[in-house]
Structure 1
Amino acid sequence: MKKELISLKKIIILAGALCAYWIGAGFATGQEVLQFFTTSGANGIIAAVIFLALMSGLTYILYGIGQKKKFGNPYDVFEYYCGKVIGQVYIWYTVVLVYAIFVVMLAGAGATINQYYGIPTYVGTGVIALLSLGTVVLGVEKLIEIIGVIGPIKIIFVAIVGVSGIATLINQPNLLSEASNLIPTLGFQTASSNWAWSGILYAFLALMVSIPFQVDCGASAKSLKEARTAGLIGTIAFTVAIISLVIAELVYYKLIVGQQVPTLAIANHISPVLGLIFSVLIVLSIYSAVASFLLVTVRKFAVDKTKKFNTIAIILTAIGMIFGGILPFDKLVNILYPLAGYSAIIFTCFIIYKELRVKNRKFDNEVEVDIN
């Protein structure tokens, strides 16, 4: 039996790419984690474990199927699991969802950079748009390599904030229970009133926007074992980042009241240098997410590194820059996001059904061979 190839460097890059894809501006600022996890108090940590349990299995399957099937177009995975008709519905729904989020992030990029550095909004938007476009036209493999390096850097600095929170917690062990009791009363927005459902919902939202990207990452691996290992490590590392931020936000809950960017407030409290690094990290998070979402959208229409691909990428970037601040894409995303959670649950049922059928068919064939 041929031994499967494993490259530690490749595993780290593919795992890091998944982390960089998921760690967008919402996560890097701390708002995403705050609303989905921290507002549940200490139960937010358990919700993160629920996220880990769900996403570990799903990334294992998606990275694996991407490597095994090597679809010409990553969106073909929807037809593979759901059939032609339902698969097409999922394909176009995902394209609209991902592009809507791309436009929202691009529109917000300029405002975010203006807030941190005083650079004119249109300049910030233009810089992020051009950097993202330049990365995307280099192709899938190059984008994975670039954001695969950025991902682990993000995890490390988020973990530093978490370690600082743990150190504070060791000296003041009552802080956790104090924060858990008070944080629901401080007026923070929350994704759900139920902590378990928050973890489940976050998992399925993360799934729905990342399916084609995970399939592309899996196809980039040199072996099935390498693909599945990368998917698992990426999910575990991302969960560590979630738990680190939950602990930090609970420990420093007094600092983040009324703050739009909790991580920056916490980082500045720990060290002004760390605060500066986090402001850069947020910009990197915007760039890597915008580039990834653009690539995933364009991959529906063309193979990367072709003239058609580059043309579509340029057109979609231009549309995002022009109409991002005009069209009500925030309302569109508000409609699409809840639907994304439920549609991802249904898609997961299709995945489980298909995987069980394949396993049963394989088992029946093995039994038939043994009998013969």
Structure 2
Amino acid sequence: MWKRGGMVMQIAFTYMGTVVGAGFATGQEILQFFTRFGYWGFLTILLSTAMFIWLGTKMMLISADIQANSYEDLNKTLFGEKLGSWISFFMMFILLGVTAVMLAGAGSIFEENWNFSYQAGLLITIAGCFVLLRKGMNAILAVNSIVVPMMLLFTGIVLYDTFTTPESDRWLTLVTDQSPLAAWSAPFLYTAFNLSMSQAVLVPLGASVRDKSTIKIGAWIGGIGIGFMLLAGHIALSLHMPGIQQYAIPMGGIARQLGHTAQWIYIFLIFAEIFTTLIADIYGLTLQMRQRVTWSPTVITIGILILCYLMSQIGFGTLLSTLYPLFGLISLGWLVLIIRHRKDPHKPRK
């Protein structure tokens, strides 16, 4: 029973840690997808939370049913053999870009906050990724089991501080000039994008767990945890609207008000969220590449790390700004297909 409970929490923490990436932790995603829509944000967060619970569970259960080796197997199940292969290839390209940007962000944190050079920060992060990735899925579960509870604790502190501040109920009264259509489309875009990006780790995670009830409970707890952090961030950011929109890292502006120690913890958590996203994406990329080439996992991982290191030298912002809208459209199509997917009772397990 204790072993099953531990696995449930590892699934929940890994789910939360995969979705709650650096964009979430900085507050930019919450601001852009929810808070700027005023009081609508509370209701759209509830909708997004429901979709994370429902579709996150469904994605991992499908992965368990088909015994997926990587997210390419899931995409072939959803889109068909040929189109699924192309979608997975496109996702591999996007994940490489995202991983390079994350690596660059980690280097910047070392340079701007911890008195290391940018290059040293990159190399330290790469070394940490390589060491942990040699342990496979167990490393991802272990890292998220440490980072996510810390993030939940920090979120609780921010929420407590917000509720002790005058006008803490602004999240219920904040008005907006944004259209209701934009407000209600935001949770679908947000959920679709994050779930499709999370395939890299959630698909092999679902396939590795034999007990479906464990997957369901873990996914439910993870989805509720994501919703809690979304709502807490939204409540805190609403208190400081509209001025908080000028910050590149909105939650950083709030953390500064909590004191030097809280700000240091926050910077560490930003790096930790970047790091968990890095190892999850590289792990997923390695699994997919193993289905395309005959190289060993170690060689593939080293190759991905070298490629991301080289890409982090030149930046990837322009290319990503071009690809993200297209990826958003594909993510919405992916969301529709996973909603419509029905298990074939006559199809044998792999």
Normalised TM-score (structure 1): 0.84
In 1, are the aligned partners of 2:103 and 2:122 still within 8 Å (CA)? yes
Q: Which residue of 1 aligns with 2:319?
A: 332
Q: Over residues 212-265 of structure 1, what are the superposed CA-to-partner deviations in whole Å (9 max), with x where a residue is unaligned?
A: 321112123240110122112111101110110010011133763532222222
Q: Which of 262, 275, 282 pairs up with 1:274?
A: 262
Deviation at 1:174, TM superposition (A): 6.1
Q: What RMSD, in angstroms, separates the aligned Cα atoms of the two structures?
A: 2.6
Q: Which residue of 1 aligns with 2:200?
A: 212
Gaps of 5+ in 2: none
In 1, are the aligned partners of 2:14 and 2:145 still within 8 Å (CA)? yes
In 2, are the aligned partners of 1:6 and 1:222 still within 8 Å (CA)? no
Q: Which of 198, 203, 212 pairs up with 2:186?
A: 198
Q: Which residue of 1 aligns with 2:211?
A: 223
Q: Which residue of 2 aligns with 1:99?
A: 96
Q: Over residues 302-358 of structure 1, what are the superposed CA-to-partner deviations in whole Å (9 max), with x where a residue is unaligned?
A: 28xx9711111111111111222315x222222222222221222233334431x63
Structure 1 residues 68 and 323: alpha-carbon distance in aligned structure 2, compared to 1, 3 A threshold: same
Q: Which of 13, 16, 27 pairs up with 2:10?
A: 13
Structure 1 residues 261 and 353: alpha-carbon distance in aligned structure 2, compared to 1, 3 A threshold: closer
CA distance in 2, matches of 1:94, 1:247: 33
Q: Which residue of 2 aligns with 1:369?
A: none
Deviation at 1:123, TM superposition (A): 1.4
Amino acid at match of 1:344: S
- Is residue 2:22 matched to residue 1:22? no
CA distance in 2, matches of 1:137, 1:117: 27
Q: Which residue of 1 aligns with 2:330?
A: 343
Structure 1 residues 176 and 76: alpha-carbon distance in aligned structure 2, compared to 1, 3 A threshold: closer
Q: Which residue of 2 aligns with 1:283?
A: 271
Amino acid at match of 1:12: M
Q: Which residue of 2 aligns with 1:85?
A: 82
In 1, are the aligned partners of 2:134 and 2:298 still within 8 Å (CA)? yes
Deviation at 1:116, TM superposition (A): 2.4
In 1, are the aligned partners of 2:22 and 2:274 still within 8 Å (CA)? yes
Q: Which has the larger radius of gyration?
A: 1
Deviation at 1:90, TM superposition (A): 1.5
In 1, are the aligned partners of 2:19 and 2:195 still within 8 Å (CA)? no
Q: Over residues 283-308 of structure 1, what are the superposed CA-to-partner deviations in whole Å (9 max), with x where a residue is unaligned?
A: 111111111111111110128xx971
Structure 1 residues 231 and 258: alpha-carbon distance in aligned structure 2, compared to 1, 3 A threshold: same
Q: Percent of aligned pairs with the same residue?
A: 21
Aligned pair count reads: 344
Q: Secondary structure at the match of 1:132?
A: helix
In 2, are the aligned partners of 1:66 and 1:218 still within 8 Å (CA)? yes
Q: Which residue of 2 aligns with 1:130?
A: 127
Structure 1 residues 8 and 126: alpha-carbon distance in aligned structure 2, compared to 1, 3 A threshold: same
Structure 1 residues 37 and 106: alpha-carbon distance in aligned structure 2, compared to 1, 3 A threshold: same
Gaps of 5+ in 1: 363-372
Deviation at 1:141, TM superposition (A): 2.6
Q: Which residue of 1 aligns with 2:113?
A: 116
Structure 1 residues 173 and 312: alpha-carbon distance in aligned structure 2, compared to 1, 3 A threshold: closer
Normalised TM-score (structure 2): 0.89
Q: Which of 333, 341, 348 pairs up with 1:354?
A: 341
Q: Over residues 3-35 of structure 1, what are the superposed CA-to-partner deviations in whole Å (9 max), with x where a residue is unaligned?
A: x99811111111101111122221111112111
Q: Which of 69, 72, 75 pairs up with 2:72?
A: 75
Amino acid at match of 2:319: L
